[in-house]
Amino acid sequence: MKTEKSILAHDILKRYWGYPEFRPLQEEIILSVLDGRDTLALLPTGGGKSVCFQVPALALGGVCIVVTPLVSLMKDQVAHLKANGIKAAAIYSGLSREEILSVMSNALYDPDFRFLYVSPERLRTETFLLNLPKIPVRMIAVDEAHCISQWGYDFRPPYLQIAEIRPLFPEVPVLALTATATPEVVRDIQQKLRFKEENVFQKSFKRDNLTYFVVKESDKNGRMLRIMQRYPGTGVVYVRNRRKTQEVAEFLQQNGISADYYHAGLEARARDRKQDAWMTGKTRVIVATNAFGMGIDKPDVRFVVHLDIPDTLEAYFQEAGRGGRDLKPSVAILLYDEYDLRQLRRNFTLSFPTLEKVREVYEYLCQYYKIPMGDGKNRTYPFSLSQHARELKMDAAQYYNALKFLEKTGSLVVSEHLRERSKIHFKMDGEELMRYYPLHPQLEEFVKLLLRSYAGVFTQFVNIQEEVLAQRAGLTVAQVEENLKALRADKVLSYEPQSEIPLIMFLENRVEAKHLFFDPKDYDDRKQRAQERLEAVIRYVTTDHICRSRQLLSYFGETKSTPCGSCDVCLARKKRMRQEQEDEIRKAITDLYQQDVTLREILDRLAGRYAEDDLLETMRQMVEDGALLH
């Protein structure tokens, strides 16, 4: 019999998402949160994590704080929630102070506001911390929760701040979610988030419909083509660098495969166009770096091919797991050669620059952005990795990894490559506009067009499209932009033009580089953990006697799984067993045949020991080989 809370959860699921039932474990996780318990949910990629916090948040009322490092994902989820009539907003690096205050105002004063998404570094800012205690928070959701653990593969120090805000809301439950965590990381997440008691819901990482293959192959392109000929349907090919995405896509096109390439360096409209073409089936194969996939839920991906070895099994499991979300048979195939293994070890060496190099990068950044000593905390600047690497005369990979180390010390954070659409927010109210029109008659119709086109512009920033406005107003895009800038100058509205730049945010005030604190033991520990993750990947790739699925499950703590029966290792074992049995049957037939026993008599004598079909097939082959006479 369903409880009152269960009925409420199902009603919300049906009303907002249109689903009659929850997926496995979702309801148990939701009811745990509704009972006020801190909860850790381990659900594999595509397991429906967002429903696990959105449903209980709506049931609890008030505001749910959602912490996630994936800005593109939070923007996508905010858009989906708004499309379902649920009020939500996001705060992340790159927003103006005015935009942040507008979002905070809605969270504070709008009784229907439900979801406030924040990137972890925003938890440390004065504006956020000043307003947070006044917000009616009823739940805290922590996505990508493995980022809070220094033992995890993607540790981010700002995540540690989450525990610091818990005393403000002592009765509010925390729901932590992740798709990949080892047993050690599972324990660490609960400790770092100050769970009142251990409480873990873990769906098995086993994917019965997804078959893993690892193939040592010198002709990767040829093998990739054969894979696509064998497995019809949509697919993803993952490669390590941007240049290679285009090269592989062009190779596929030349061989009659509908393919395109994708990486974070592409202009936003190009990325959207390519992604949409693949999502709708116009493009069969997308060749991409690991920038592709987060938040993309295409159910009918039949194959995922890796032409380069990922750095961690966590990354591989997530990327491979984008196949077969519709629960139909799919394959994940990793192609490698000896060069790939050498390259993997070289990349590991580059990923741990000397502490002197890290200090050099820190000093360069502070000077480049003209940050005074003792200043800079929470300041954000546009960022260009390639330009900085050139000016430092440093290998781009080495520079990138020095930045990643500075991130892990909590000194700064570099945002993902973001696209910000143009947006407006009216400062003048209706009465003020009536006084403005007679003084600026040339802008009156344009202002009224804005008000007709976009709802909510008086209470929050609203995304706009200059091209659409130009069509409606019979103007050029340039004229629309001029009008918007004029209205901004007259303080009628705030106007933020479209931009697309990575950003760097300093989390602490500048100190002298020589005083930048690095714990040598911490550095060595991180390196040791990374070395262990590297060796785990290499073992997975080179071990050909343990089922692929069992290897992956064992890495994530599931040590009692059974062989999948369909991966390259299991198929090879079956083939060996068949060969061994065939050799045994051949010997038994030969022994009897040499005793002048007829074929019919041989069949009768061996019928109790071997299957009749196996006996007949072996006899047929022996006759064809000349080992037996008719």
Q: Is residue 560 a part of any domain in this protein?
A: no
How confident is the model at residue 581, as a pLDDT? 87
Q: Report the C-alpha gap between 33 and 29 in whole angstroms.
A: 6
Question: Does the pLDDT value for residue 630 go beyond 70?
Answer: no
Residues 284 and 165 placed together within one structural domain of the fold: no
Report pLDDT digits (tens) over 541-552: 999 999 999 999
**pLDDT of 607 higher than 90:** no
Query: Based on the domain organization, do 271 and 171 belong to the same domain?
Result: no
The pLDDT tens digits for 346-373 are: 888 888 888 888 999 999 999 999 999 9
Angstrom distances, CA of residue 259 to CA of 106, 229, 237, 333: 44, 14, 10, 18
- CB 243, CB 249: distance < 8 Å: no
Task: For strands 503-506 and 412-414, give the pairing.
Answer: antiparallel
SS3 404: helix
Instruction: Judge if 487 and 444 occupy the same domain.
Output: yes
152 and 267 in one domain? no
- Does residue 428 share a domain with residue 413? no
Q: How many domains are contained in the chain?
A: 5
> Is 249 in the same domain as 313?
yes
Q: Fill in the DSSP letter of residue 513.
A: G
Same domain assignment for residues 275 and 378: no
Whether residue 516 contacts residue 356, with contact meaning beta carbons closer than 8 Å, is answered with no
- Amino acid in position 51: V
DSSP H helices in 166-307: 183-192, 220-230, 242-254, 268-279
**Amino acid of residue 27:** E
Task: Give the pLDDT confidence score for residue 253 in this predicted structure.
Answer: 96
Do 58 and 178 sit in the same domain of this protein?
yes
Report d(CA 620, CA 598) in Å as an integer: 14
Residue 420 banded pLDDT, cuts 50, 70, 90: low
- Same domain assignment for residues 91 and 238: no
278 pLDDT higher than 90: yes
Question: Which range has the top average pLDDT, 49-53, 302-306, 393-397, 610-614?
Answer: 302-306
Residue numbers of the domain that contains 129: 4-202
Answer whether residue 550 is part of any domain.
no
CA–CA separation, 625 and 630 (whole Å): 12
115: three-class secondary structure by DSSP: strand
196, 240: one domain: no
Q: Which of 179, 202, 225 is the last residue of a domain?
A: 202
Alpha-carbon gap, residue 298 to 77, rounded angstroms: 16
pTM of the model: 0.76
| Gap between the Cα atoms of 279 and 236, Å rounded | 11
**3-state DSSP helix/strand/coil % of the chain, to nearest 5:** 50, 15, 35
Pairing type for strands 379-382 and 503-506 reads antiparallel
CATH number at residue 227: 3.40.50.300
Question: Is 555 domain-assigned?
Answer: no
| CB distance 537 to 309 below 8 Å | yes
Same domain, 355 and 261: no
Asked whether residue 66 falls in the same domain as residue 192, the answer is yes
CB-CB neighbours of 377 under 10 Å: 15
The pLDDT of residue 500: 66
> Are the C-beta atoms of 251 and 221 separated by less than 8 Å?
yes
